[in-house]
Chains A and B, each alone.
Chain A
Amino acid sequence: MDNISTKFYNAFIYKDRWILYFKGLGVTMEIALLAGVIGIVIGCIVALMKLSEPKKGRKHTIPWYIATVYVDIIRGTPSVLQLLIMWFIVFSSSNNGVLVASLSFGINSGAYVSEIIRAGILAVDKGQTEAGRSLGLTRGQTMWEIVLPQAFKNVLPPIGNEFITLIKETAIVGYVSLSDLTRTASQISSRTYEAFMPLIGAAVIYFIIIKILTLLLGALERRLRRSDIR
């Protein structure tokens, strides 16, 4: 008993170490949120590039090819490697670690988000587009006014999942020595020569954050569904 409380004391209380966990969580969330926003912006653009209409007699548009190459490269390489490349090659001279990491995760996430959004747009009944176009609305107006708002409802749950994945995926920023929650826990364990408390502590924090997010997403989803029948 005494042993456990000593371990707890060393892992969280001694030298106010609990503050370090929350600082780590702050870094984790900062990167995840920034990357999430970047991912959604990139995802939207790439999805629209993939859905661009080819000219008569052509199979695909140039934006389609660019988008496809991007998605293929991102999905075909490990995200750790992408992070290392961004860190040590592309932005080797930058000293804003959080920003570089966010950009790296955002570019990574964008590829997955684009596929989610593309599927969400394709899931909107074709008749909606035809009705819009038959009234004389342009492709863009129809997309913006009619298709995208409906696609939003389709994509909200998978986008939420993608963000949750993103939060956990940021744990690899330890590779480029950013002190996120995971790295903080591991550093503390190496200082106290005791792994259980810091690692389980970090896991519990991740779990709670993600559980809260899941509940919020569920509530939002139910609310959006309610507006279906009014």
Chain B
Amino acid sequence: MISVKDLHKTFDGQEVLKGISTEIDKGEKVAIIGPSGSGKSTFLRCLNLLEEPTSGEIWFEDQLITDPKTDINKVREHMGMVFQSFNLFANKTVMENITLAPVKLGLMNKDEAREKAMSLLQLVDLVGKADVYPASLSGGQKQRIAILRSLAMNPKVMLFDEPTSALDPEMVGEVLEVIKVLAEDGMTMVIVTHEMGFAREVATRVMFIDEGIIMEEDTPDRIFTSPRSKRLQDFLSKVL
């Protein structure tokens, strides 16, 4: 579904990604782990071109999205993204947050979008919050709504950029729960995370990124029980 070929990214002369190649198939749940500053978030943000790669190719369903001629907005409609800092639209109610994009992009009319939003809100038990502004929500509620906002577009893949890193510990569970349900539903996803337990439980593949390359990737079992590279062993000994 997503195919990445020799991806490089340089920020102000500093090379953050030094050649990443990988394939992500439909239905896969890829967890990306690695030390901070390793380039894992940059890699994720390159997948929907929020970060423009310096060189390399990214294919999404046989479409070369790094080609400047590709309409990236159209591609993004199919790739949901959830951010560490939620980024709910502060000037819109929860309902408007969820319905804005599907309506503006002409995928649904207002009524359809509202209906869809309501059924999504039911899923996470937040129907009562439909008409409030994000400022009055807790972090966990914000992130669950942010996930719904992406889901309202019926994406083919979901990208999660450290979705629980900005949450108070007691709220991590409720967000991971939603992601888990999504995973069980068969959603293709790529998750940058520091939640090793979650990665191990939900992921079908774990990718260890360090110093701008994929150091190691394998099934969660093998990554966590028999890491091969020294860097991964060091990293795991620090976080587990």
Contact = CB atoms under 8 A, between A and B. Distances in A.
B83 A131 contact: yes
A131 B87 contact: yes
A135 B77 contact: yes
Contacts of B75: 136
A127 interface: yes
B74 interface: yes
Contact of B104 (A56, A130, A137, A150): A137
Contact of A135 (B85, B101, B136): B101
A146 B81 CA distance: 17
Of A56, A125, A130, A131, most buried by chain B (CB within 10 Å of CB) is: A131
Contacts of B135: 228-230
Nearest to A127: B87
A113 B50 CA distance: 30
A141 B105 CA distance: 9
B151 to A, nearest CB: 11
Contact of B91 (A135, A141, A146): A146
B149 to A, nearest CB: 7
A6 interface: no
A145 interface: yes
Interface string B139-173: 00000001001100100000000000000000000
Of A136, A138, A146, A229, most buried by chain B (CB within 10 Å of CB) is: A136
Interface string A122-146: 0001011011111111100100011
B48 interface: yes
A145 B50 contact: no
Given A131-B83, A133-B50, A135-B150, A141 B104 contact: yes
A225 to B, nearest CB: 11
Contacts of B146: 131
Instruction: Place the interface of chain B in its size category.
Output: 20 to 34
B88 interface: yes
A127 B142 CA distance: 14
A227 interface: yes
B166 to A, nearest CB: 11
B92 to A, nearest CB: 8
B132 interface: yes
Given A131-B83, A230-B133, A136 B76 contact: yes
Nearest to B74: A136
Contacts of A158: none
B89 A128 contact: yes
A149 interface: yes
A193 B235 CA distance: 88
Contacts of A125: 85, 87, 90
A136 B77 contact: yes
A56 B67 CA distance: 13
B95 to A, nearest CB: 13
Contacts of B68: 56
B132 A230 contact: yes
Interface string B44-65: 0000101010000000000000
B10 interface: no
Contacts of A150: 90-91
B215 interface: no
Given A136-B101, A136-B105, A146 B89 contact: yes
B136 A134 contact: no
Contact of A134 (B52, B74, B76, B90): B76
Interface in A141-192: 141, 145-146, 149-150
Nearest to B52: A56
Contacts of B48: 134
B73 interface: yes
Of B75, B87, B100, B132, most buried by chain A (CB within 10 Å of CB) is: B87
Interface of A: 56, 125, 127-128, 130-138, 141, 145-146, 149-150, 227-230
8 contacts: A132-B89, A132-B101, A134-B76, A134-B81, A136-B105, A150-B91, A230-B132, A230-B135
Interface of B: 48, 50, 52, 68, 73-77, 79-81, 83, 85-92, 100-101, 104-105, 132-133, 135-136, 146, 149-150, 153
Given A131-B149, A134-B48, A150-B91, 4 more contacts: A127-B87, A131-B88, A136-B105, A230-B133
